Amino acid sequence: MNRIRNIVILTGAGVSAESGIDTFRAGTDGGPSLWEQHRIEDVATPEGFVRDPDLVHRFYDMRRAAIQQKQPNAAHMALARLDAVWTDNLLIVTQNVDDLHERAGARRVLHMHGEHLKAWCTACRSRSAWREALFGRPPCPVCQSRSLRPDVVWFGEMPYEMDRIHAALLDADLFVSIGTSGAVYPAAGFVRNARDLGAQTLELNLEPSQGSAMFHETRLGKAGDLVPAWVAEILGGG
Ligand code: BJW
């Protein structure tokens, strides 16, 4: 294999599962996934928000409060270590809206599906740091309008920073997908993009994802075990 310089890492809900944050579809230790408890159309579409904003605010207020009680796990810590020492290009593209990569110390993180700890004002289009509930319609800190919504990307909306992601994929020597089911596009298509552009592709997941066949290599297990081992391997050159 040619020397690896540029790395793109895609993370999904599975990377935060061992921190106690529910995944969307499957694969947690026991409890029901988020989409087994809530209908996607009700809580993760712009149409659902227009229909019943109280329901959507309650869903996100609960999850925003919960993530603030959670801690990064060994997978987040290992990726932060890699980010700290990797001198060539590295981008952690996360589909997760929690802040556990950052709290582990990672800096080169891109939240393609938004962030729980930000609110987006649909009146003035500003984005503000946000930790509290939105249910009571607090005023926007910038324009005072009571038009804040969670700063997350719902189905039918365009994920953030797609140009930057595609630029990183164009240069990638290695694409690594961690803890994602490969059920949601465009993220599910990144492995094909990266592979077509010449990158090596590696999947680390509890079970084969929907796009598993596209990867050069798949390793099955918990992110908290697999990711530290892979980081040690790549930093050791092995
Ligand atoms: C572990 C583990 C452990 C567990 N260790 N592993 C038909 C075909 C193709 C595309 C479409 C289509 N119809 C519609 C679309 C597009 C649509 C889409 O993909 N739909 C699919 C359902 C088919 N996509 C969109 O709409 C996107 N936008 C878009 O395409 O824009 C283009 C456009 C827009 C407008 C006009 C024209 C074009 C937007 C998608 C937004 C997704 N948003 C969500 C919610 C975010 C906010 C929130 O958190 O509530 O993002 S949905 C949800 O799914 C969330 C996640 O980021 C995303 C992915 O989930 P993820 O991370 O993969 O989690 P899981 O639970 O699915 O998987 C966890 C995995 O971890 C499992 O594999 C476990 O095994 C594993 N695991 N424990 C390791 N310990």
Catalytic residue among 113, 116, 166, 216: 113
Tell me the pairing of strands 90-94 and 114-121.
unpaired
Residue to mutate, 64, 185, 191, ligand 1, most ligand atoms under 8 Å from C-beta: 185
Residue to mutate, 23, 35, 49, ligand 1, most ligand atoms under 8 Å from C-beta: 23
Nearest atom, ligand 1, residue 209 CA: 73
CA-nearest residue, atom 55 of ligand 1: 95
Cα of 29 vs centre of ligand 1, distance in Å, is 20
What was the pLDDT predicted at 2?
Answer: 65
pTM across the whole model: 0.96
Place of tokens 């993370």: 11
| DSSP character string of 172-214 | -SEEEEES--S-STTGGGHHHHHHHTT-EEEEEESS--TTGGG
pLDDT beneath 70: ranges in the chain: 1-2, 27-30, 237-238
pLDDT tens by residue, 31-49: 788 898 899 999 999 999 9
For helices 74-85 and 223-236, what crossing angle results, to 10°? 20
Within 6 Å (CB) of ligand 1, which residues are found? 12-14, 17-18, 23-28, 33, 44, 95, 97, 113, 152-159, 179-181, 183-186, 205-207, 209, 222-223
Cα of 13 vs centre of ligand 1, distance in Å, is 9
113 belongs to the catalytic site: yes
CA distances from 59 to 129, 220, 235 (A): 18, 31, 40
Nearest atom, ligand 1, residue 13 CA: 62
What was the pLDDT predicted at 28?
Answer: 60
